[in-house]
Structure 1
Amino acid sequence: MTDSAARILQLRAELEQHNHRYYVLDEPSIPDAEYDRLFNELKALEAANPQLVTTDSPTQRVSGTPLTAFAEVQHEVPMLSLGNAFAEDDLLDFDRRVREGLDLPAGDLFGGGAEIDYCCEPKLDGLAVSLLYVDGVLMRGATRGDGSTGEDISSNVRTIRNVPLKLQGSGWPAVLEVRGEVFMAKAGFDALNARQLASGGKPFANPRNAAAGSLRQLDAKVTASRPLEFCCYGVGQVVGELPSTQVAVIQALKQWGLPISKELRLAHGVEECLAYYRDIGARRQALAYEIDGVVFKVNDLGYQRELGFRAREPRWAIAHKFPAMEELTELLDVEFQVGRTGAVTPVARLKPVQVAGVTVSNATLHNMDEVARLGLMVGDTVIIRRAGDVIPQVMAVVAERRPADARPVAIPQSCPVCGSHVERTQLVKRAKGRETISEGAVYRCVGRLSCEAQLKQAIIHFVSRRALDIEGLGDKIVEQLVDVGLVHSPADLYTLRYEQVVVLDGFADLSTRNLLAAIESSRQPALARFIYALGIPDVGEETAKLLARALGSLARVQAALPEVLTWLPDVGLEVAHEIHSFFEDEHNRTVIAQLLERGLQLQDEGELHAEFSACASLAELIDKLNIAGIAATGAKNLADKAGSLQAVVALSQDWLELSVMKGLSEKAKQSLRDYFANPANVARAEAIEQQLRDFGMHWGSEKKQAEGLPLAGQTWVLTGTLELMSRDQAKQQLESLGAKVAGSVSAKTHCVVAGPGAGSKLAKAGELGIAVLDEAAFVERLAGYGIVL
């Protein structure tokens, strides 16, 4: 054997081992850069020695030209479907039939009879495939097809990263047909749809459709670009020896490098099967992938052979399905609801249908752009999807069932609640030197708090748990207070008297006193809670906390100019304009003034946070003025040359001095001259600088020393169920240590705390190599910072 041939074999073995650790075990042992170095070395060696290239080489996962059609594959052992159980009684009947088929002792008054061991696995919602290994090398991949004949998808299967091109270890049969499911995890599906939308493509309806469509591409390069995964659950054709039980066979496949379900369990008796089904059902939404049930198989392979098959399904296995998550029904009408911000949202009124065990009669339509995308008309037959507690959604229209009298959906011209005009929102995109205005997807009622719907939703938000947290003020009570005219704004809550409340429906002496006491106890909210309670568009809980922590007082938040707000992390110019516009509005200012006059005393107010003292620079100020042709580098050159804003303005009008300045294009110089020739622009720039001075953010301000917090600058994510504390408590503890708690995992995440039931976020952390703590380790970490639960 030549040195090149030996090195090629060594590299292939190393790369397959690293693929297995990365894609199957989630335990990468080398950085990506080292993997790439090994891969590129192998490619170079194979290019120099083409006679040594084999189909099991990691370089051959994507190769060849696109196919014109798939060849047929005859399954030596038919790929049969499974019988279904939809209720517990169905599974009990299955277990009874198994025991009777094996002539095992039945239960009586003196005992439960013989119990069967079952292999238990989630039923993945993907596409069944067959992988044929000959002497340990992947020779063919095929779809299930009709069970007897499938399609040859070998090129596409090779692109799936957790499918080994060559089996690991030893002891595998000479011929081994592995059967399993190709699927797409939730995180991968979301990322794929985001790419589809970004490129102007049509998003996939669900992960199963995305996986099936990706696997049946005639060009394997398209399949390779999709986030597909494989999980094996059994075998077909075998020439050689295998263990004698289903679970042992699956464990053997794992030893040979094939991915198996981490939820694989052995159940002793049907009651343990039912417990497994309930447990998986409770954790279903937290799993990283979609499942539609649980598969139970008699574990003893001798028993399987004895039980045999009926027409098209084995007698030794059954799929215990979860309640359907998609159903067909009729769209009876589309009504329009008005939300807290005045958004007029279409809601589908449906012919009632059972979806995932719940009767569904309404579904969200999001906005009129979604109605147009679906091509929806009243009278259509539609596909409804419901996942866990998520609001049911109209997924698609069955166009061929459209009746002749179907009618289009039209946005109302007047608010269905108050009769005010309904107008389409406009999107303002601000770039260097210009603003671009386009139509938004949302329609709004212009009636504001004179519209009862907006008023009710605004107050419901104001008193909610994460805002002012006024216990006892539920939705129905808020609606009643508005309906009888006692409350016209959030400030009116603090003028309610005993005699006004006690006569309302559902109130008596004790409940009235409790409500008034709860309102009274809310008079000292933290500044962050108060800002969040105001319901500023695009300002969620985290942004409210940032505004409160950074600026330190309501007065500064109210006065802050949009450009000044953009010095705060994660506050873009569009959100900054929303904040500024909210506090500029006269009605909003009046309500805030009334709240303060009626006794609200904001807590945690103080100075600008030390982190933001003297945080601004002249170059950043110039850049934020959005002068056409002047980006960060040009702004720095101007700042270095001029030294002050006044000098920049003077320079812009001194054409001779400006013309010889280095570091600015002629176009940028002209833009600078034109910009400051407008007195309004000069006044705007001076106002921004003055506010930076007033706040203490100016480059000439005193730089204060921030008190160090151990987790300052770190982003943490909480996922799964925590048992020793609530998620909110964990979040509060992390924030008290200076960390930011985010809702999703990204490359910027520092650490993930994962409790039982952690799903896609935990999987994402594994993909990105982010540190993960279980709850015990998290509590220990908190104790190290002096926080003892």
Structure 2
Amino acid sequence: MTSAQTAAERIAELRSDIDAHNYRYYVLDEPSVPDAEYDRLFKELKALEAEHPELVTPDSPTQRVGGAALAAFGQVRHEVPMLSLGNAFEERDLIDFDRRAREGLDLPTGDLLGEGAELEYSCEPKLDGLAVSLLYENGRLVRGATRGDGSTGEDISTNVRTVRNIPLKLHGSDWPAVLEVRGEIYMPKAGFEALNARQLETGGKPFANPRNAAAGSLRQLDSKITASRPLELCAYGVGRSDGDLPDTHIGILEALKKWGLPISRELRLAKGVEQCRDYFRDIGEKRDALPYEIDGVVFKVNSVGQQRELGFRAREPRWAIAHKFAAREEVTELLDVEFQVGRTGAITPVARLKPVQVAGVTVSNATLHNMDEVARLGVMIGDTVIVRRAGDVIPQILGVIPERRPESAREVHVPEQCPVCGSAVERTQLIKRSKGRESFSEGSIYRCVGRLACQAQLKQAIIHFVSRRAMDIDGLGDKIVEQLVDAGLVGSPADLYSLSFEQVLALEGFAEVSSRNLLKAIDDSRMPSLARFIFALGIPDVGEGTAKLLARALGSLDRIACALPDVLVYLPDIGLEVAHEIHSFFQDEHNQLVIRQLRERGVELQEEGDVHPEFAACATLAGLLDNLNIPFIAATGAQRLADRFGSLEAIIGADWLDLRQIERLNEKAARALRDYFDEPANAARARVIEAQLKEFGMHWQSERKAAEGLPLAGQTWVLTGTLEAMSRDEAKARLEALGAKVSGSVSAKTSVVVAGPGAGSKLIKANELGVAVDDEAAFLKRLASLEA
């Protein structure tokens, strides 16, 4: 520092120089000074800031060392959802993607006389790291967040500030006032190897691969640990932007680079799918020489205008695709096969392997799926096997090398007793129901019959019960559940609602505040929606969607619990096998006890009501006859019987002469019908089904409530974008309760489109067709008036 300079001026000068050196080093890959000179400047800046702490600012290069440890991460809702990409695993998939994109843009696709129009694509490697969002306001980094589920992520602002190549303030002056940068934080190969070496030296556990190391480093509550890890960012796009940006994807990335954000050095422009294929092959050949791990290539339509026109489907854009590399294979030894017990008691074989590097990851375990797969592979313990990471993610055994089989090789046998609780292990049976008979065959799954007496099943059942999409008990993670079960404090989900403060306080890692917080979270979960509760119960083959359907259609737990399989099949997408699983679950005495205890301990279900109007009087007499699977009585014969007799009792009591008078009902069918109902059990079954249809209001003679008397009867609504005040599922349920049909696509018949932030192609199409559009405020106002 010269005599004429003040400390503030010298600090500003040093910061400017260091930022410039960081930009040339990390972004341009053109370091301008030796490391020693950089270190000298950095040391001088630190010394000056120590002498003048009042001059320290958050965006100083010295403020990357991390701060005080956090108690937990907050949540960040993405204003523009961070969508995942569709995958291409073969060249055919990429060609089909290009064809769909050109068709979506109404471009000529080519024929025998011409090649058609070609699209321009941006091409860059698909880094194997963690997707993040960086928010800059007036050029300064104010927030960092993980992708999370695409709608909501974790606030990792403190941690991203420690990543060396993320600028704390943007270069230049023409950036938007608000700019959300999307990118991948990863760990270079060299940094990963050095980190694992340090882990081993200090007695720590090495990381399995660079992606896990990057993700684990970013999710440290102590940002000082993050600061010590060799992380880097590669920007690949933008989310929200309050300002003008270039009209091409590559143009946007070049602007980000100009503003100090690193982008891929392998970024290229390709014209047409053939150049994309060439790029994919070129990157594949140099993959091992790259300083970071990649698992494929991302292709994006380069024109931003064309991106908007193509829009989105489900949770992925129509204008981008990830072309994944083929699975990599290695050879290793199968040391043993162990059996794990899942939530439903399924006994699953897991291969224990001699550790081997597969696609940059150390693999020591692989899935064998089930015993049918073991038999198909012909695998034995001691075999030399071929291991593959399918899609570079899930290790699996691809095959056996028979000529290397040792004499000591042993067959794989399913244990007769559960490896966790010692209960019997039984093979499942598959029941095929057809006209007039049931046939049984052995299934591929073996199950422990111990149910919740088996600690493995109990732990998994509780973990599922408290999960975010089920009862959503915050803070009750896997390890805490294991503690509760191991300590004998929880033997069923109902026991969670009887835990005392003293019991929780005695658990490892709990103090007064954390104990009270956990008990409050449990208490806050006592009023779940019916759909959440059904999903939380963990009924086999009943996922979140089926749980919502059951809750919406039947309206109450009591109805669902007593519903016969023959009645459940009237609901869309519920087949007979799933219907039997639901019915069997609620007939089980232990499950009945758990549900009763949950209610006794204060769990009160919300959103219960009548059978949904959509299903009022939905059953027909012909449909009932057809579902009884009477031999030789198909749908057309069932309809003729219904038309002729008009009631189930008349059909049950019909004599031979009555049946012979029905046109085109042959003698074989008539005799089969008479034989069927001559069995008292069959007649009784049919009567019980009809009685329940009447009880539920689903009988053909029931009052038809459907949608005629509801305010939105006959209307079709579409939801698009992100809603702030409620989830899309809640909005859909409320619209359906008002009589509307909620569709996933916009057409000329659409009544209203509700467009939240991030709305894409559906909003564009609605405007083109002149369909009415409500923003969220207008939608909420309309709901309030309709529901009043």
Provide TM-score, normalisation by structure 1.
0.56
- Determine the C-alpha separation between the residues in 1 that align with 2:727 and 2:711: 18
2:598 match: 595
Q: 2:521 aligns with which of 500, 518, 521?
A: 518
Q: Structure 1 residues 291 and 733, CA, compared in 2 at 3 Å: closer, same or farther?
A: farther
One-letter code aligned to 2:478: D
Deviations 1:373-392 (Å, cap 9, x if unpaired)?
2332333232220546x543
- Determine the C-alpha separation between the residues in 1 that align with 2:386 and 2:416: 26
- Determine the C-alpha separation between the residues in 2 that align with 1:265 and 1:786: 39
- Determine the C-alpha separation between the residues in 1 that align with 2:687 and 2:88: 62
SS in 2 for 1:462: helix
SS in 2 for 1:392: strand
Greater mean deviation of Cα atoms: 476-485 or 655-664: 655-664
2:328 match: 326
- Determine the C-alpha separation between the residues in 2 that align with 1:270 and 1:617: 63
One-letter code aligned to 1:381: V
- Determine the C-alpha separation between the residues in 1 that align with 2:397 and 2:250: 34
Greater mean deviation of Cα atoms: 736-745 or 523-532: 736-745
Deviation of the 1:526 alpha carbon: 0.9
1:345 match: 348
Greater mean deviation of Cα atoms: 427-436 or 323-332: 323-332
1:485 match: 488
1:232 match: none
2:648 match: 645
Deviations 1:285-317 (Å, cap 9, x if unpaired)?
xxxx999979579xxxxxxxxxxxxxx99xxx9
Deviations 1:573-631 (Å, cap 9, x if unpaired)?
11111111111111111111111111111111111112211221211111111111111
Q: 1:455 aligns with which of 448, 455, 458?
A: 458
Is the contact between residue 424 and residue 440 of structure 1 (CA under 8 Å) also seen in structure 2?
yes
Is the contact between residue 723 and residue 776 of structure 2 (CA under 8 Å) also seen in structure 1?
no
Unaligned runs of 5+ in 2: 1-24, 38-85, 93-107, 118-122, 124-247, 269-275, 296-324, 784-788
Q: Structure 1 residues 786 and 613, CA, compared in 2 at 3 Å: closer, same or farther?
A: same
One-letter code aligned to 2:294: F
One-letter code aligned to 1:326: R
Q: 1:737 aligns with which of 732, 735, 758?
A: 735
Paired positions, count: 517
Greater mean deviation of Cα atoms: 433-442 or 375-384: 375-384
- Determine the C-alpha separation between the residues in 2 that align with 1:591 and 1:563: 25
One-letter code aligned to 1:382: I
- Determine the C-alpha separation between the residues in 2 that align with 1:726 and 1:398: 56
Residue 708 of structure 2 corresponds to residue 704 of structure 1: no
SS in 1 for 2:653: helix
- Determine the C-alpha separation between the residues in 2 that align with 1:629 and 1:551: 32
- Determine the C-alpha separation between the residues in 2 that align with 1:726 and 1:327: 45
- Determine the C-alpha separation between the residues in 1 that align with 2:682 and 2:461: 36
SS in 2 for 1:516: helix
- Paired residues for 1:241-640 under 5 Å: 275-277=262-264, 322=294, 326-328=328-330, 329-379=332-382, 380-387=384-391, 390-399=393-402, 401-640=404-643
One-letter code aligned to 1:679: P
Deviation of the 1:785 alpha carbon: 3.8
Percent of aligned pairs with the same residue? 56
SS in 1 for 2:727: helix
Deviation of the 1:371 alpha carbon: 2.0
Residue 693 of structure 2 corresponds to residue 692 of structure 1: yes
Deviation of the 1:558 alpha carbon: 0.8
- Determine the C-alpha separation between the residues in 1 that align with 2:561 and 2:87: 54
Deviation of the 1:395 alpha carbon: 3.4
Q: Structure 1 residues 385 and 448, CA, compared in 2 at 3 Å: closer, same or farther?
A: same
SS in 1 for 2:527: coil
One-letter code aligned to 1:688: I
One-letter code aligned to 1:682: A
SS in 2 for 1:480: helix
Deviation of the 1:549 alpha carbon: 1.1
Is the contact between residue 634 and residue 664 of structure 1 (CA under 8 Å) also seen in structure 2?
yes
- Determine the C-alpha separation between the residues in 2 that align with 1:742 and 1:400: 57
Is the contact between residue 353 and residue 361 of structure 1 (CA under 8 Å) also seen in structure 2?
yes
- Determine the C-alpha separation between the residues in 1 that align with 2:715 and 2:401: 50
Q: Structure 1 residues 534 and 677, CA, compared in 2 at 3 Å: closer, same or farther?
A: same
SS in 1 for 2:345: coil
Is the contact between residue 735 and residue 742 of structure 2 (CA under 8 Å) also seen in structure 1?
no
Deviations 1:246-298 (Å, cap 9, x if unpaired)?
xxxxxxxxxxxxxxxx98889879979995549999xxxxxxx999979579x
Deviation of the 1:455 alpha carbon: 0.9
1:117 match: none
What's the C-alpha RMSD, in Å, of the aligned pairs? 5.0
Q: Structure 1 residues 519 and 754, CA, compared in 2 at 3 Å: closer, same or farther?
A: closer
2:41 match: none
- Determine the C-alpha separation between the residues in 1 that align with 2:638 and 2:649: 14
- Determine the C-alpha separation between the residues in 2 that align with 1:334 and 1:778: 60
SS in 2 for 1:620: helix
Is the contact between residue 124 and residue 292 of structure 1 (CA under 8 Å) also seen in structure 2?
no
- Determine the C-alpha separation between the residues in 2 that align with 1:422 and 1:377: 21
Q: Structure 1 residues 615 and 725, CA, compared in 2 at 3 Å: closer, same or farther?
A: closer
SS in 2 for 1:693: helix
One-letter code aligned to 2:566: E
Q: Structure 1 residues 479 and 318, CA, compared in 2 at 3 Å: closer, same or farther?
A: closer
Deviations 1:203-241 (Å, cap 9, x if unpaired)?
xxxxxxxxxxxxxxxxxxxxxxxxxxxxxxxxxxxxxxx
Is the contact between residue 616 and residue 699 of structure 1 (CA under 8 Å) also seen in structure 2?
yes
Provide TM-score, normalisation by structure 2.
0.56
- Determine the C-alpha separation between the residues in 2 that align with 1:385 and 1:292: 23
One-letter code aligned to 1:337: Q
- Determine the C-alpha separation between the residues in 1 that align with 2:435 and 2:366: 41
Q: Structure 1 residues 583 and 733, CA, compared in 2 at 3 Å: closer, same or farther?
A: same
- Determine the C-alpha separation between the residues in 2 that align with 1:726 and 1:504: 37
Unaligned runs of 5+ in 1: 1-91, 100-105, 112-121, 129-160, 171-179, 181-261, 282-288, 298-311
One-letter code aligned to 2:340: Q
Deviation of the 1:467 alpha carbon: 0.9
Deviation of the 1:446 alpha carbon: 0.9
Deviation of the 1:562 alpha carbon: 0.8
Is the contact between residue 498 and residue 512 of structure 1 (CA under 8 Å) also seen in structure 2?
yes
Q: Structure 1 residues 619 and 526, CA, compared in 2 at 3 Å: closer, same or farther?
A: same
Is the contact between residue 109 and residue 116 of structure 2 (CA under 8 Å) also seen in structure 1?
no
SS in 1 for 2:386: strand
- Paired residues for 1:125-204 under 5 Å: 165-167=112-114
SS in 2 for 1:673: helix
- Determine the C-alpha separation between the residues in 2 that align with 1:322 and 1:704: 56
Is the contact between residue 430 and residue 442 of structure 2 (CA under 8 Å) also seen in structure 1?
yes
One-letter code aligned to 2:669: A
